[in-house]
Amino acid sequence: MSLPEKIEVSADRKYPVYLGAALEDLGGYIHSLPDKVEQILVISHKKVADLYLERLMTGLGDYTVDLMIVPAGEEEKSLDRLSRLTTDALGFGADRKTLVIALGGGVIGDLAGFFASVYMRGIRLIQVPTTLLAQVDSSIGGKVAVNHPAGKNILGAFHPPVAVWTDFRTLDSLPWIEVENGLAESIKHALITDSDFFSFFETQADSIKRRDPVIWREMVARSASIKVRVVSQDEREQGIRRLLNLGHSFGHALETEMNYRGVTHGQGVSIGIVAAAFLANAKGLITLNEVERIKQVLRCYDLPTSISRQDPHALLQRMETDKKNQGGRKILILPQGIGNAVVSKECKDEEILDAWQKVILEDN
Ligand SMILES: NC(=O)c1ccc[n+]([C@@H]2O[C@H](COP(=O)([O-])OP(=O)(O)OC[C@H]3O[C@@H](n4cnc5c(N)ncnc54)[C@H](O)[C@@H]3O)[C@@H](O)[C@H]2O)c1
Ligand SMILES: O=C(O)C(=O)C[C@@H](O)[C@H](O)[C@H](O)COP(=O)(O)O
Ligand SMILES: [Zn+2]
């Protein structure tokens, strides 16, 4: 077993992101923490716990560990589930010395993270991401949240973890549909910051699809490093971090309008990136050839670039609750060429509607 690579988020508080770590070694790391841990709550999905809890427990033998299983699905990022977790945690006697381990994908990371951020006004959290999306994106940066019927991630916090513990081997059991979600965020990272990394997705498609371990390691490491770099500069999303939201104003609108059914987060982001690219083209920020290049790379990984049976006006209305909006003005992230993006404060509703029309298929 090779030693994990350590990169560090350097924001208000520093914390390590271990890439290529072993689940079995997490206990040793927790023992080494300066502030003693008295008890551990592992929050996970049944499927993930069945696959990986035993490995995690190898290193946690000295601790009282309680497991809290959450049903799978975006709907579980809810206040109702938060309340149930709280009841269970109180039943287990969890206190301020308790550590939460989020073992799972982005849903578990966001939900368990939000629980950790508010339980007794905040307890420690370690993110153990087991999906590609969580390893390249959601486990890093401290954003945690639950949804509200009116909008996605409306109730949330910035609650940086003590550490991110990434074991690449957990990705072996991930179905392709879940891989796609991670690829959408990873391609987004490339599109906003690194044209060379964008070309990587064009040239390495065969290796990525065949899950070549060396190429996957490079992909996760490059993508996670971009996220680390951005959130280290702007943890609270006042400036550059907003670029990580490329495609999300559109994507979140779709997810909420469709009640989180029939569209995953990554699929919403993929369609959202294309809509943002069309809007950027209308503003002269990107050529139509570049828009086509973006669509091609997404399609190459089976990601959607359009959607049918949607009302653009309803989707525009959904964008009213976007967290980037200011004083009723919609603020959107737009690609500027490939490998660069800008915050656009000049987006009129008609322009946004036009962009929606370009990704909504006509029904016959
Ligand atoms: N906080 C952030 O910065 C941030 C960033 C991006 C996305 N997100 C959020 O992340 C969520 C999406 O996360 P996701 O795509 O990881 O979905 P997910 O967490 O719902 O996981 C997808 C499915 O994969 C299963 N799974 C997890 N690990 C597995 C493994 N190793 N093997 C087999 N199956 C496994 C899960 O049980 C689940 O059924 C959304 O709620 C999104 O808003 C948050
Ligand atoms: O970390 C960020 O910042 C991001 O925007 C990453 C996104 O991929 C992620 O989906 C995030 O949860 C979106 O945040 P939100 O505040 O727009 O809900
Ligand atoms: Zn996202």
Tell me the per-residue pLDDT of 160-183, one tens digit each, with 9 for 90 and over: 999 999 999 999 999 999 999 999
Cα(11)–Cα(319) distance, integer angstroms = 30
For residue 66, is pLDDT > 80? yes
The predicted pLDDT at position 39 comes to: 97
- Determine the average pLDDT of the residues in 326-334: 95
Q: How far is CA 153 from the centre of its chain?
A: 11
For residue 2, is pLDDT > 80? no
The predicted pLDDT at position 3 comes to: 74
Residue 218 marked ligand-binding: no
CATH fold of 195-361 reads Dehydroquinate synthase-like, alpha domain (1.20.1090)
CATH (one of 3.40.50.1970, 3.30.360.10, 1.20.1280.50, 3.30.365.10) for 5-171: 3.40.50.1970
Cα(26)–Cα(245) distance, integer angstroms = 31
Residue 185 marked ligand-binding: yes
* Angle between helix 195-203 and helix 213-233 axes, rounded to 10 deg: 160
The predicted pLDDT at position 127 comes to: 99
For residue 1, is pLDDT > 70? no
- Determine the average pLDDT of the residues in 230-248: 97
**If DSSP codes are grouped into helix, strand and coil, which group holds residue 199?**
helix
The predicted pLDDT at position 353 comes to: 98
The predicted pLDDT at position 292 comes to: 98
pTM here is 0.98
- Determine the average pLDDT of the residues in 241-255: 98
**If DSSP codes are grouped into helix, strand and coil, which group holds residue 208?**
helix
Q: Where are the domains of the chain?
A: 5-171, 195-361
Positions annotated as catalytic residues are: 121, 143, 185, 227, 237, 241, 245, 248, 252, 265
Q: Is 248 in the pocket of ligand 2 (CB under 6 A)?
A: yes
Q: How far is the CA of 44 from the centre of ligand 2 (A)?
A: 21
Query: What does the block give as tokens for 2?
Result: 């090779």
Helix (H) or strand (E) holding 125: strand 124-129
- Determine the average pLDDT of the residues in 24-30: 97
The predicted pLDDT at position 219 comes to: 98
Q: Please, which pLDDT band fits residue 346 given cuts at 50, 70 and 90?
A: confident
Length of the chain: 364
ipTM for the complex? 0.99
Q: How far is the CA of 286 from the centre of ligand 1 (A)?
A: 31
